[in-house]
Amino acid sequence: MYEQTSLPEFLLAITPDMVDVVHVEPDELRKLLDAMARLDRASPFGLCLRRSLLRFHFLRRTGLQLGINFGVRLRQPSEGTGVAGHAWNTLQDQPYHENEEDYRGFKVIYRWPEN
């Protein structure tokens, strides 16, 4: 699906429209989702994107109003050349369970939902 739609269409399709995961502690679910994201190494998505998409979809189903930021920065000399990308979740416009060093220096180029 992600190859056949625009990013906004894809994100809209995975945005739950109701809370239907109840009796689950969001923090415990987040830990499980993070472990699942680390397992799928064959995915075309990098770890940060897999983790952000899983968290976004499933934790919103618990009622947690997460967003996703997509950012870019120039690579450091030790990383080679080019542009680096990163995706991370936000809650009330603040990074959600994200190490500051992982998103520091990234310029947000798109956020979802687009509010």
Q: Is 115 exposed, middle or buried (0-12, 13-18, 19+ CB in 10 A)?
A: exposed
Number of domains in the chain: 1
**Which helix (H) or strand (E) segment is 112 a member of?**
strand 107-112
pLDDT tens-digit map of 45-100: 889 999 999 999 999 999 999 999 999 999 989 988 999 999 999 999 999 999 99
* CA-closest candidate to residue 51, choices 64, 65, 69: 69
2 assigned to some structural domain: no
Strand, coil or helix: what is 75? coil
Full domain range(s) for residue 49: 7-112
DSSP assigned state of 9: H
pTM: 0.91
11 assigned to some structural domain: yes
